[in-house]
Amino acid sequence: MAKSPDRPFVPKDEQMALMPETSGNTINGVDETEHRRAKPIYWHNPDTLAHGKLQQWFYTQNADNRHIIKAREDRANILAIELPPVAPKQVQQSANKWTEQLHAYSETLDMELFGITAFKPEWAFEGIKIRQKWVIMIGVAHDYEKIKEAPALTAGAEVVRQYGRGTKAAKEIASWIRERGWEAIVHAGPMAGPLLLIPPAIECGFGELGKHGSIINKEFGSSFRLASILTDIPLLPTKRQSYGVDDFCARCQVCANACPPEAILPDKAMVRGELKWYVDFDKCLPFFNETAGCAICIGVCPWSIPERGPRIIEQLKRRTQRSSLKINKNRGSR
């Protein structure tokens, strides 16, 4: 893919005047070799964040766009829906039965992905303690025809709409659990909650981390949003999946070339003791703020094109098979 025609991107002076001295990459732990929890950096209480004034500035941009206004109003209505109290009588049954019933119930809801994983303390933001044992993850897919228009504001509105849809599905599942006497706490974007959502989504089988810092799912690519429920109801985990995304992203440059601020790194970075794909926060944020959330990398990702993922997986399998045959042939000729 050709490089973005919007390069070089020059942020607005009024936005850059709000940029703190502390680098967002430093807060995120880039180049740190020791494992630690993530620090809140964006979408938390702005009064507590180094970049809080930029977060507030985000909402002053494109605020009169009718698509965004409508999407935010609809999401606000969903956020206002209260969960029922936890029933005083706790229904008891096996983890296998609860898991089967929740899977079945999720299939009746307006959502595309459902997964379960045991909670890990390192997923919680620094300073936050979570006592629930399980994380239920939800994925809701974008309308590809809308998200591929990014950074058009219609794409930004589509992101907000899907956050609302994810919130609604999460509240419906949490209500189902609470009505049976078990605690269930909902978190959905775009505001950050008590834990990171990408790690448990990967762990429960939604996909693998891509070069653009988002999950790549075999069916929806990166064109989906996440929501979660923390609960103590007995459950069984869904399986983590791997289908060659890491190798694919190492060769692919589509999202990196399409990124106007050139924020997508060509190679992995060491982040809080883990070598992983990482997007330069300080480069990404200004463009993100001026375009109602950008989403270019999600829209252009080859995996996000409908029905493309399974074909890519088959291509990767054939490539692996050819490589194995070549290696075996070379060994046999020695």
Domain membership of residue 228 (yes or no) is: yes
In a domain, 332, yes or no: no
- Banded model confidence at residue 3, pLDDT cuts 50, 70, 90: confident
The span from the CA of 58 to the CA of 76, in Å, is 17
Q: Which conformational region is residue 329 in: left (phi greater than 0), alpha (psi within -120 to 50 degrees), or beta?
A: alpha
Whether 203 maps to a domain, the answer reads yes
* Residues 59-100 pLDDT 10s: 999 999 999 999 999 999 999 999 999 999 999 999 999 999
Q: Is residue 37 part of a domain?
A: yes
Residues 6 or more apart whose CB falls under 8 angstroms from that of 43 comprise 55, 189, 190, 191, 192
Domain region containing 171:
13-325
- Considering the chain, what is the average pLDDT of its residues? 95
Q: What is the pTM of this model?
A: 0.94
pLDDT tens per residue, range 174-199: 999 999 999 999 999 899 999 999 99
Question: How many domains does the chain divide into?
Answer: 1
Is 94 a domain residue? yes
Band the pLDDT of 163: cuts 50, 70, 90.
very high
**What pLDDT score does 334 carry?**
58
Angle between helices 153-178 and 66-79 (to 10 degrees): 10
Band (pLDDT 50/70/90 cuts) for residue 7 is: confident
The reported pLDDT for the residue numbered 331 is 59
pLDDT of residue 329: 60
Residue 290 has pLDDT above 70, yes or no: yes
Residue 4 lies in a domain: no
- Number of Cβ atoms within 10 Å of the Cβ of 103: 14
Indicate whether 117 belongs to any domain. Answer: yes
**3 found inside a domain:** no
Please compute the mean of the pLDDT values over residues 257-285 and round it to a whole number. 98
User: What is the DSSP-derived secondary structure letter of residue 62?
Assistant: T
**Residue 325, pLDDT above cutoff 90:** no
| Whether the predicted pLDDT of 328 surpasses 60 | no
How large is the C-alpha radius of gyration of the chain?
A: 21
Backbone angles phi, psi at 97, to 5 degrees: -70, -45
